[in-house]
Amino acid sequence: MSDILANDVRTQYEKAFATIKGIVEAFPEDKWLVPHGDVYYIPSRIAYHLASFIDGLIAGGYSDPDFRSKLPFGAWIDGTPETLPNKKAFIGYYDEVIGRANKVLSALDDAKVTEQLPADMARFGATQIGAHLRNMRELSAHTGELNKMLIENGIDDIWF
């Protein structure tokens, strides 16, 4: 069996991961910890949510019952400009997360991505590929938010 499905999954994650990093790198340093229209929309908070999501669901962090308590900057939803990471700290964490995620993704093959999900994960889809599609929807939603904030700062949106 070829790994055509698994390769497509990996390719789309690579592009999503690169888009997130590109947005972060392009984001003005002086706007990184500033709310954009609403206190929820702090670029660092949204980016940190994406990183912790990738770390938990794609890199396998949620298999550790203490995962959330080990996050380097606390729970993303509780983040404030005082507790959220600056760009340099975020990129350090993000690069580590992507390394872990890529290691997990490198083990995918077509048999794995077509496996049925356990019953307790049915909210993510019927199969592993369904869960990956759901993950990409989450990444896309928040990437769009970050891109909107880039545009609000006079910078073109980024999408790979």
> Which residue in 156, 152, 136 sits closest to 14, CA to CA?
136
Q: What is the pLDDT of residues 65-117, one digit of tens each?
A: 999 999 999 999 999 999 999 999 999 999 999 999 999 999 999 999 999 99
Q: What is the pLDDT of residues 25-51, one digit of tens each?
A: 999 999 999 999 999 999 999 999 999
CA 67 to chain centre: 16
58: which DSSP letter? I
Query: What superfamily would CATH give domain 4-152?
Result: dinb family like domain (1.20.120.450)
- Specify the pTM: 0.95
152: which DSSP letter? H
